[in-house]
Amino acid sequence: MSDAKTLITETVKAHDVVLYMKGTKSMPQCGFSSRVAGVLNYMGVDYTDVNVLSDADLRQGIKDYSDWPTIPQLYVKGEFVGGCDIITEMTLSGELDTLFEESGVTYDKEAADKIRAANG
């Protein structure tokens, strides 16, 4: 399990935005992963996707690393942000925009506004 922790630490520090998910950004394998990847894709965020289905140690390791029981998990600038429900709430409230702005992460503000308008 320490190998998984090392790999996770290196990955979240090497990339500004990382999504640990079931499947990939182009082919999510669960609805929750699909929702978060869809938001990030629509908003034009450049992020690294990590498929936890390819490695059982990694799938358990990410849960232990964040002390969060579910996947997907979003990390921005090395910090755990949350899972599907939290990312959905942050998107709709504008908090995700603020986090990206404060973290220097490029995203499409107009796309974010469209998500809120469609769900408002």
Report the binding-site residues: 30
Residue among 112, 118, 65, 64 nearest 87 (CA):
112
Phi then psi for residue 56, to 5 deg, are: -65, -40
Q: Hey, what are 101's tokens?
A: 């702005």
Q: Which residues are annotated as a binding site for [2Fe-2S] cluster?
A: 30
**DSSP-based three-state secondary structure for 43:** coil
